[in-house]
């Protein structure tokens, strides 16, 4: 799985075009090629909605992400069933983040619906807040179902001990921006990045980058995992701040799961 369009269904090709963001990539849609965006200055988040008509939702949307997760209601939500497989490491610095494109065949299932893992990427600091608190880093695992609906699982990181999964990624960071690096000798399983307790907050939101399309289901895992200060610094040196500011919740419903941690098992 990569930012290229090899062996992709039309729906999946559209997802990659929207989410990969690699400057100069052949998978970008016209709007992304025509309109540069960034995290500061005249092309920063407060201006995204004015940069291109395709980015209108960034300005006019009513269910934008990220949000401050507060006032969640406990609900009988089901555990997410993870069926992630090993994938060769395919990693790119696309100018906005470090992204890992995942080989096809890994899925999650929840409430009888299945979603394929497409890619995951990182934001510093975390885009999501919980009761006003930001975390040091967040990973967004991007999934899509067969109808083209997006689902993102957010994994929060806090400063602590060395993270072995992150160590593998940072050891193989690309030296060039926009060039995907495939390290065939390195295989990984994205499940190794998840906390043991898979309880989550759930709400409806949007992509957190242009075009800010809404209709994205968000599952923010409640338990953060540790990452060392040195590992945080490596990412922060490349991306001092690649987090979109908090967006209005607009009274949207935020649900909170409370199943036993053992319910995560396959």
Total structural domains within the chain: 1
H/E segment holding residue 114? strand 113-123
- How wide is the angle at C-alpha 20 spanned by C-alphas 16 and 21, nearest 5°? 130
Q: Please say if the pLDDT value at position 63 is more than 90.
A: yes
Token pair 């992709």: residue: 8
Phi–psi pair at 42, nearest 5 degrees = -70, -15
Q: Is the pTM of this model over 0.85?
A: yes
Query: What domain range is 243 assigned to?
Result: 63-264
Q: Please say if the pLDDT value at position 20 is more than 70.
A: no
How would residue 261 be classed by pLDDT, with cut points 50, 70 and 90?
Answer: confident
Pick from 247, 253, 251: which is nearest to 65 by CA? 247
Asked whether residue 26 is assigned to any structural domain, the reply reads no
pLDDT mean over 94-115: 97
How would residue 255 be classed by pLDDT, with cut points 50, 70 and 90?
Answer: very high
How would residue 16 be classed by pLDDT, with cut points 50, 70 and 90?
Answer: very low
Least confident span in 28-37, 100-109, 163-172, 220-229: 28-37
CA distance 263 to 117: 21
The pLDDT score that the predictor gives to residue 11 is 42
CA distance 249 to 227: 29
Cβ neighbors of 152 (< 8 A, separation 6 or more) are 140, 141, 142, 143, 216, 217, 218, 219
Please state, for a pLDDT cut of 70, what percent of the chain lies above it: 85
Asked whether residue 50 is assigned to any structural domain, the reply reads no
Asked whether residue 223 is assigned to any structural domain, the reply reads yes
Average pLDDT, the chain: 89
pLDDT tens across 181-191, in order? 999 899 999 99
The pLDDT score that the predictor gives to residue 194 is 98
How would residue 35 be classed by pLDDT, with cut points 50, 70 and 90?
Answer: confident
Token pair 């555990």: residue: 79
Asked whether residue 74 is assigned to any structural domain, the reply reads yes
Tokens of 167: 């160590």
How would residue 262 be classed by pLDDT, with cut points 50, 70 and 90?
Answer: low
CA distance 266 to 256: 21
Phi–psi pair at 120, nearest 5 degrees = -140, 155
Phi–psi pair at 56, nearest 5 degrees = -55, -35
- CATH of residue 69's domain is 3.10.200.10
């Amino acid at each position: 799985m990569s930012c290229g369009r090899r062996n992709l269904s039309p729906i999946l090709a559209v997802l990659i075009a929207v989410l990969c963001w690699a400057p100069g990539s052949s998978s970008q849609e016209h709007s992304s090629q025509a309109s540069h965006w960034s995290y500061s200055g005249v092309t920063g988040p407060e201006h995204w909605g004015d940069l291109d008509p395709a980015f209108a939702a960034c300005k006019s949307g009513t269910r934008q992400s990220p949000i401050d997760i507060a006032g969640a209601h406990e609900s009988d939500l089901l555990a997410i069933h993870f069926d992630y497989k090993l994938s060769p490491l395919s990693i790119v610095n696309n100018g906005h983040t470090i992204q890992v494109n995942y080989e096809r065949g890994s899925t999650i299932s929840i409430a009888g619906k299945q979603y394929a893992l497409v890619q995951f990427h990182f934001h510093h600091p975390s885009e999501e807040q919980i009761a006003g608190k930001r975390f040091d880093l967040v990973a967004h695992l991007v999934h899509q179902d067969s109808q083209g609906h997006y689902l993102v699982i957010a994994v929060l990181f806090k400063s602590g001990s060395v993270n072995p999964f992150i160590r593998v990624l940072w050891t193989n960071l690309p030296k060039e921006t926009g060039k995907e690096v495939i390290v065939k000798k390195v295989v990984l399983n994205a499940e190794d990045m998840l906390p043991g307790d898979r309880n989550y907050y759930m709400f409806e939101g949007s992509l957190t980058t242009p075009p800010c399309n809404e209709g994205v289901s968000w599952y923010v895992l409640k338990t953060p995992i540790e990452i060392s200060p040195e590992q945080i610094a490596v990412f922060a040196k490349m991306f001092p701040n690649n987090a979109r500011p908090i967006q209005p919740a607009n009274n949207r419903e935020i649900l909170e799961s409370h199943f036993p941690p053992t319910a995560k098992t396959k």
